[in-house]
Each structure stands twice: as C-alpha cells, then as structure tokens.
Structure 1
C-alpha cells in the first residue's frame, strides 16, 4: 500500500523542482535579452559617435576637400572613429583609400584603434573588400594579428572570402607563423576549406581575386599548422569536393610537423577520403588524388559505404585510375588500390592489366617514383610479388641511367611478363612479406 505522506512529499518536491527550472529559464532569457540590448545599444551609440559630426560625415562621404579644409584651419581629424566612418560606413568605395591615407598622415592617428566589437580598421577594410585601403593601412602600421571578440583576425576574413590579393598583402607583413584559431577553434585554412560557395565580391572588386586554391597555397606556405587543424581542413575541403584545395593540402610539406604529429597525420590523412561526396561528378579526381599519395585505405572504406561500393565496381576503379594525371601517377594510384582489393580476384586481375598497359608508356622517370612504387609493392601480401616487381623496377626502363633503347625495350618486355605471371601467382597467395 502506498504511504500517503510519502507520496505527498514526493509530489511537493517535483512541483518545487519544476518551478525552479522555470525560474532559471526565465533568468537566462532575461540575461540574454539584456546582453542583446546592450550590444544593440553599443552599436547605436557607436553609429551616433561616428556620424554625429560634420567631419565624420565628410569621411563617410569621401569629401576630401572638407577634411583638408578642416586640417588647414587647425582642426584634428585623428579622433576616435574617423577611420571607421571612412571604411565601415563609407558611401563612396572608390574614395576610401584617399580618405584613409589623409587621416593616417595626421599626427596621433592610431591605425590599430578598435570599435565596440574589438575590430580594427584593417578588419573592416578586409570585410568590405577595400583592397587598396588594406594596402594603405598596412603601410601605416596596421596589425593583421589583432583579433575581435570572436578571436577572428583579418586573416580569417580574407580566407573566408578566398581573397588572394588581400591575403598576399596581409602575409607580407606577417611575422608569427603559429596557427590562428578563432573562438570555434577554426583556423583561416578551415574557414576557407569549408566555404564551397565563396562570397561573391562587390562590383568594384576584380572577381579574379577570388581564388581558393591560391589562398590555400599561400596559407600552407606561411603558417605552421597544427596536425589536427590540417586534417580537419582536408576533411572539410574533401566533403565539398574542392579538388584544387584538396591537392594542395595533400602535397603539404610534412617535414613541418614533428615526428609524433607526422605519424598522426599519416595515419589519419587518407581517412579524410571518407568525407568525399561520391554523388558529385568529380569524385574520381578527388579519390585518385588521395590514392596517388598513398596510405591505408582501410579506415576510409570502413567509414564510407559509398567508397567501398565504388571500389568494388570495375568501371568505377577504371574511372579512379584514369582520373590521375599521367602514367606515373596512374601506376601509383593502381598500386594503392591493388593492396586493398587483392582479395577481389576479378578486380585484382583488372588492375594488374591496367598496370601492364601503363608500364610501356613510361620512357624515363626519377628515383622518387621508383621508391614510391617499391614502397607500395612491399605492402602487397606476397614475397614473390615483392621480389619480382622490385627487381623489375630496379632494372626497368624507368631508370634514367639506362644506356640504350634496346635495353629499355628488353626491360619493358620483362615487366610485362612479370606482371602476367604475378596475376596468376596472386590468385592463391596469402603469404606475408
């Protein structure tokens, strides 16, 4: 039997808890409203300050004659907000550069003053696509590393815009190569990689300035990226099938990473392929870019049913190999596939045939290509395969030091015979190297 007293006590506790939750919820809503009101109030106050005087309005309107007249009469135009009136609220984009330069030439003007959101004039010049103004601000000492309330810098904005010219100007004055992370722990590289649409610049900006691959390359050349951030950016670019950024990221100089970080990147790099959108037309190019570089496909195949389905289809395997640029890269791509599809007899034989057809088209190559081939051959589960292919490669026509065309022809024929024999040998071979 239920004790009435205990039941009443329990019911009372539940009512109290429910009421407390409602009170807490109301407090949070009121706090959020006050915060919003405070921000809106600050913004309104700032706008009033920036546009309340005739000089601020002259800066906004690009009225250089009025500003020069004020200077000649002894007035100062270096007060708070003159730069923001000229950049943030400008009505004449083409005159901003000259107005900003005139203000910066005045004694006491601080190019790094901040607004209510802790954003500098340089931040707003980048945000508004005023490239010539960015150049002037940098010449007068504007700091590209100054962050706003969200820890975003002009680098983040230029990356989000994929604005190559602005990024080049910012990097020309950059000194600190550490990765810059905003409040969401995203670097400029991640912001660029996750933006597949790219903001269309205003009419007064040359559309050619929007160049995602070039910006990716500039960022990779300058900053020392955290391995987690690097893999994150690669996954984001891959998920949007942005081929040029993906290729730049895959070609990143891994020597910049410490050994422990390098191991992490190598282990997780090809796993980013799982994020590829295999419904988009350029999925073979994205896939082949990863396979050319090499690595263990197991993680990517485990995390992507679509990738696994593509690799189990001979026509799709053909598309992947053919998507690589040139016979050398196609061979590297095929060798990576061979390691992971060796249990599929039909596909294995097909890949060997493709390699067989590609070998004769290689006239000469470098030692790096041979080393990459040998490394991938050593991953194949057959000692005989290692021995035969390794010997063939070392003595083949790929060696640039071959002295005669006759010897080259013999070596190519030897490669073909070895591959035909390997196709038969691999059918029943499970021997480990």
Structure 2
C-alpha cells in the first residue's frame, strides 16, 4: 500500500531549526510542514506589515529555508508552511529569490485570502457579543482559519514550497494527503483521519517528549537532541507516528495521548474548516520502538463557519523586575512592591490593571502560597496595563529606581514597555472567505 512520509519542521515561531534540518536531510520525506503561527503572532505580523509593507512574515523564514531547501530539493521533499503570516506573497517572493540564489529551480507558491479585515466589522466577537466594528481604530487584524483547498491546488500545480498565512494547523498536513491520495473533499472519514495526523504532528517535539518530560515521573532519553516527529500515512488515512532512529526523544502511546488531548474540547466534534473531526474512537498502539499506530478517526461535514482571529490594540504593558537575596529577602521584596505602588499613585487613572508578585514565592499560584516559605532569593515583578506608552515607561523606571531608593540589596533590575495586542474570536461564513494561490515566477517575485 502506498504511504506518504510527512514530517513536522516546527511547532511554533521560535522553534529549533536543527531537528527540521535532520528530517530534511535523512528523513526520506515526501512533505515537511512548518507550523509557526499563533493567534497573537499573526496580529503582531499585521502590525509589522503596516509599518513596512514588505514585511509581515515569519522573521525566521530566511534562516529556515536556507537550512532546509538544499536538502529538500535533493531528496524531493516538498514544503508547506504558514510562515507567510500577514504577508504570504512577500514570503513566497523571498523564498523564490533564495532558491534562485542557491541555484535551485524550486517552484514556490503563495496562498492568500485569509485576511478578512475589510469584512469582519459586522460580525460579533465571541468575548463581548459586540460587532468587531465597535473596536474602532483599535482593530488591528482579522484572519480567518482557512482550510486546505488552495494549498492542495498549489500542490496540484507542482509547487515545491507552498506558503500561506492563517490556515488551520491540521490543514497544513491534511493538504498534502488530499493531494497525494486524491481524497474527495466530502470523504469525511479520510478527512477526519488526515486531520488527526495533522493534530498529532502540529506541535513538533511536543509529541516526541519535549513538552512531555518531567524528571523522575516521565523521563525522556537524550532530550538535548530531541527530534521532530514524522508520520507514515496510508491511503486510508491511518498512520504510524515515529521519529528518526538516531534522534533524541521518544514516541510512545503516552506522548501521543497527551498530544491527542491538546486543545481538544469535545473529542467527538473537533471543528475544522474542512471537516468536523471525530477522535472519540481513536486507537493508539505501540507497534515497535518509537512507533505508534493511530487509527479510528472519522468525521462529518464542516459547519461552513470559519473561526476568525481578531487582533486589537489593548493598551500598553509597563513592567519592571528586581531581585533580592539572602536573609529577609521576602520582606524586602514586599517592601519594594509597596514602595512602587505608593510612588505610582498619581498614575492610577492611566492604569487599567496592575499586578505585583514575588517570583519564586507567589507568582504562579498566589492563592496557594506557603506562608512559612523562606526562599533564599526572590525576584520582584511589578506590571501594569496602561492607557499610554508614557505611563507604561514610568512603571519600569520606578522599579529601576529601587536600586538606591528602595530596600537593601536589590540587583539585576530590568524594565520594558510594549504595546499590548489583544485577541478576540469571531465566526464568518465560509463563502465570504475566498482563497487562491499564485506561483512566483520572474516579475511575480519582485526584489
């Protein structure tokens, strides 16, 4: 039976590059998928594109492509990625030029159409039940989670690299399977199974032990050299999840179960643009070292409603941190917090909310803090969401001033002020989102 080998090249924007190079070099892959977008990532990318129309794509795009393109070209491995973020066409043009620079005849396609900022205004935000237009000038971006249709079309047009923006994460993996096996777009069972494969691979090392590891409870071998996963997928959509034999990490039934449950609300109804996947009858069986067979997924017709990630300006974050160590460090840290709050009292009308904490004592679970705890060191952090940049800047300045105007022994102060991008969700009818692809060629790939 024909099988497709499909690998995960990244699970988020800042993921390691070396495991992807390893897969590209010796993984004998048909496809290598880079999933690099989160909700806030694309809103920030839209901001960057507003400042510079030639930007707005993944900042690691060039490094990743320089590292893997020669291996992929030599081995016949094709690439699908959402590293186009807010500007897939500019990203594709860059990869086209890189390929030519390296002497490769790589065929590069851009998939566009997920940007729906011009038609989101009348649609309600789930968080507020108000139309997106109510955000006014605070509205920054609106990107629909598109399905695999135009990615498949680009692959059918013999693209070696397909770059899109806000596609659904599993759709990046589903598209090569639809293309390779010729699945019908109403074959709900196979679409559901392909979505399962995509969901298991989309977070890369999360399924090979990276996010799984917990020393003494869930030990993972050679985690420093953790490899990224790959799937051997058969024409019926069932698959074996594995990794390269010499790569670090592990693939087990337990690692696969944790990833299967990741971000799943109702396992019988996992809403995707192409299908509503049903994972409720999925089976996972260890069939060899680092080899887990997954089967039993199915699906039903998609809802024809697409999720939209809406980004909006939500003020400014001002933050400062300073460390205290040795005897009585907790009391000195608390005094430092009291001093900062007292000195910022005149800023209250410019502050939406504030938070002060002692990292190492109460920053993660403040309601469960051990009152008798006497750590050897703590780090005071004070942060506030502010109306304007000036107030946010002052937050950090007041913390930094504790060097000489606060408790004894403070050190290692840091400060920052940055714009906050909030994220909201909406639904948009699928017929309002029209995607397409274009192949970068000659004048279509400007410098």
If the length of structure 2 is used for normalisation, what is the TM-score? 0.21
Q: Larger relative contact order (C-alpha < 8 A, sep ≥ 6)? A: 2
Find the structure with the greater CA-based Rg: 1
User: Comparing both structures, which one devotes a greater share of its residues to helix?
Assistant: 1
Q: Counting strand residues as a fraction of each chain, which structure ranks higher?
A: 2
